[in-house]
Structure 1
Amino acid sequence: ITQTVRDNTFHGSLLWAIDKTCTAMGGRALRRWVLQPLLDIKGIRARQDTIQELVENSSLRQELRQLLRQIYDIERLTGRAGSGTASARDLVSLADSLLKLPDLAVVVSDARSPYLRALQKVQPVLEQLGQRIRAYLVESPPIYITEGGLIRDGVNQQLDEMRGAAEDDQKWIANLEVTERARTGISTLKVGFNKTFGYYISISKSKIDHVPDDYIRKQTLTNEERYITPELKEREARILTAKEDLNRLEYEIFCDLRAEVGEQAELIRNVSRAVAAADVLGGLAEVAVYQGYCRPEMVMGREILIVDGRHPVVEQSLPAGFFVPNSTKLGNGSSVIGNGEEQNQLPITNDQSPDLVILTGPNASGKSCYLRQVGLIQLMAQLGSFVPAREAILGVCDRIFTRVGAVDDLATGQSTFMVEMNETANILNHATPKSLVLLDEIGRGTATFDGLSIAWAVAEYLAEEIKARTIFATHYHELNELASMLSNVANYQVTVKELPDQIIFLHQVQPGGADKSYGIEVGRLAGLPGVVIQRAKQVMGQIEKHSKIAVGLREGIGSETRVSTRKKRSPKTTTPEEQITE
Structure 2
Amino acid sequence: MAELSPMMKQYFEIKEKNKDSILFFRLGDFYEMFFDDAKLASRELDLTLTGRDCGQKERAPMCGVPFHSCESYIARLVQKGYKVAICEQTEDPAKAKGLVKRDIIRVITPGTVIESGMLDEGKNNFISSAFMANKKIGLSFCDISTGELFITEISGEDLQDQLQDQLISYNPREILIGGEIVNFKTLPNFIKEKLSASVEMLTDDEFGYSICLDAMKNQFKENDVNSIKDKKEMVSSVGALLSYLKVTQITGYERINTFEVYNENQYMNLDYNTRRNLELTRTMMNKEKKGSLIWLLDKTKTAMGKRLLRYWLEHPLLNIGTILNRQSAIADLVDDTVQRLEITESLIGIFDIERLMTKIVYGNANARELRSLCGAFENLPQIKNLISKFDSSLMRKLTEDIDPLEDIHQLIDTAIEEEPPFSVREGGLIKEGYNEELDAVRSDMNNSTSLLAQIELEQKEKTGIPKLKVGYNRVFGYYIEVTNSYKDKVPEEYIRKQTLTNCERYITQELKDLEGRILGAKDRSFGMEYAIFDEIRKVVANNLDRIEKTAKAIATLDVLTSLANVASDNNYTRPEVNQSSKIILKDSRHPVVEALLSGAPFVPNDVTLDNDSNRVAIITGPNMAGKSTYMRQVALIVLMAQMGSFVPASYAEIGVVDSIFTRVGASDDLASGQSTFMVEMNEVANIVKKATKNSLLILDEIGRGTSTYDGMSIARAVLEFVADKKKLGAKALFATHYHELTVMENLLDGVKNYNIAVKKRGDDITFLRRIIPGGADDSYGIEVAKLAGLPDWIIKRAKEILKELTSGKTDDKETFANISPHSSEDDMQLNLLDTASNAVTDKLKSVDVNTLTPIEAMNLLYELNNMI
Is the pair's TM-score, using the shorter chain for normalization, greater than 0.5? yes
Residue of structure 2 in register with 1:429 after alignment: 689
In structure 2, C-alpha distance between the alignment counterparts of 1:487 and 1:540, rounded to whole Å: 34
Residue of structure 2 in register with 1:300 after alignment: 579
Residue of structure 2 in register with 1:319 after alignment: 598
Paired residue for 1:264, among 540, 543, 561? Answer: 543
Paired residue for 2:662, among 402, 408, 414? Answer: 402
Matched, 1:380 2:640: yes
- Aligned-residue offset at 1:133: 1.4
Conservation of the 8 A alpha-carbon contact between 1:102 and 1:122? no
In structure 2, C-alpha distance between the alignment counterparts of 1:497 and 1:307, rounded to whole Å: 23
Q: Greater relative contact order: 1 or 2 (C-alpha under 8 angstroms, separation 6 or more)? A: 1
Q: TM-score, normalised by structure 2?
A: 0.53
- Aligned-residue offset at 1:83: 1.7
- Aligned-residue offset at 1:100: 1.9
Residue of structure 2 in register with 1:115 after alignment: 394
Paired residue for 1:371, among 631, 637, 653? Answer: 631
- Aligned-residue offset at 1:535: 2.0
Conservation of the 8 A alpha-carbon contact between 1:115 and 1:277? no
Amino acid at match of 2:805: I
Conservation of the 8 A alpha-carbon contact between 1:142 and 1:150? yes
In structure 1, C-alpha distance between the alignment counterparts of 2:763 and 2:403, rounded to whole Å: 75
Residue of structure 1 in register with 2:37 after alignment: none
In structure 1, C-alpha distance between the alignment counterparts of 2:779 and 2:809, rounded to whole Å: 16
Residue of structure 1 in register with 2:782 after alignment: 520
Paired residue for 2:424, among 145, 161, 169? Answer: 145
Stretch deviating more after TM superposition (67-76 or 480-489):
67-76
- Aligned-residue offset at 1:158: 2.4
- Aligned-residue offset at 1:174: 12
- Aligned-residue offset at 1:435: 0.4
In structure 2, C-alpha distance between the alignment counterparts of 1:446 and 1:121, rounded to whole Å: 60
In structure 2, C-alpha distance between the alignment counterparts of 1:374 and 1:471, rounded to whole Å: 9
SS in 2 for 1:498: strand
Conservation of the 8 A alpha-carbon contact between 1:37 and 1:382? yes
- Aligned-residue offset at 1:111: 0.9
Amino acid at match of 1:367: K
Per-residue CA distance 1:544-570 (angstroms, 9 max, x = gap) = 3459999xxxxxxxxxxxxxxxxxxxx
Paired residue for 1:16, among 281, 295, 299? Answer: 295
Identity %: 47
In structure 2, C-alpha distance between the alignment counterparts of 1:86 and 1:115, rounded to whole Å: 33
In structure 2, C-alpha distance between the alignment counterparts of 1:434 and 1:390, rounded to whole Å: 24
In structure 1, C-alpha distance between the alignment counterparts of 2:337 and 2:449, rounded to whole Å: 59
Residue of structure 2 in register with 1:360 after alignment: 620
**RMSD across aligned C-alpha pairs, in angstroms?**
3.0
- Aligned-residue offset at 1:519: 1.1
In structure 2, C-alpha distance between the alignment counterparts of 1:243 and 1:511, rounded to whole Å: 85
Per-residue CA distance 1:104-145 (angstroms, 9 max, x = gap) = 111122211233223434776822111111111112211111
* Residue correspondence of structure 1 range 57-456 to structure 2 within 5 A: 57-121=336-400, 126-169=405-448, 241-320=520-599, 322-333=601-612, 350=613, 354-456=614-716
Residue of structure 1 in register with 2:759 after alignment: 497
Paired residue for 1:41, among 293, 297, 320? Answer: 320
In structure 2, C-alpha distance between the alignment counterparts of 1:151 and 1:136, rounded to whole Å: 5
Paired residue for 1:532, among 784, 794, 797? Answer: 794
Conservation of the 8 A alpha-carbon contact between 1:115 and 1:274? no
Per-residue CA distance 1:5-61 (angstroms, 9 max, x = gap) = 011000000001111111111111111100011100100000100111111111110
- Aligned-residue offset at 1:99: 3.4
In structure 2, C-alpha distance between the alignment counterparts of 1:99 and 1:45, rounded to whole Å: 31
Conservation of the 8 A alpha-carbon contact between 1:89 and 1:141? yes
Paired residue for 1:56, among 325, 330, 335? Answer: 335
Conservation of the 8 A alpha-carbon contact between 2:723 and 2:749? no
- Aligned-residue offset at 1:238: 6.2
- Aligned-residue offset at 1:505: 0.6
In structure 2, C-alpha distance between the alignment counterparts of 1:125 and 1:373, rounded to whole Å: 41
Residue of structure 1 in register with 2:85 after alignment: none
In structure 1, C-alpha distance between the alignment counterparts of 2:373 and 2:555, rounded to whole Å: 15
SS in 2 for 1:313: helix
Conservation of the 8 A alpha-carbon contact between 1:398 and 1:434? yes
Unaligned runs of 5+ in 1: 176-213, 215-229, 334-349, 551-582
- Aligned-residue offset at 1:241: 3.2
SS in 1 for 2:405: helix
In structure 1, C-alpha distance between the alignment counterparts of 2:595 and 2:389, rounded to whole Å: 34
- Shift in alpha-carbon separation, 1:538–1:170, aligned structure 2, 3 A: farther
In structure 2, C-alpha distance between the alignment counterparts of 1:269 and 1:329, rounded to whole Å: 44
Stretch deviating more after TM superposition (374-383 or 528-537):
528-537
- Aligned-residue offset at 1:412: 1.7
In structure 2, C-alpha distance between the alignment counterparts of 1:173 and 1:316, rounded to whole Å: 74
In structure 1, C-alpha distance between the alignment counterparts of 2:719 and 2:676, rounded to whole Å: 20
Conservation of the 8 A alpha-carbon contact between 2:617 and 2:753? yes
- Aligned-residue offset at 1:541: 2.6
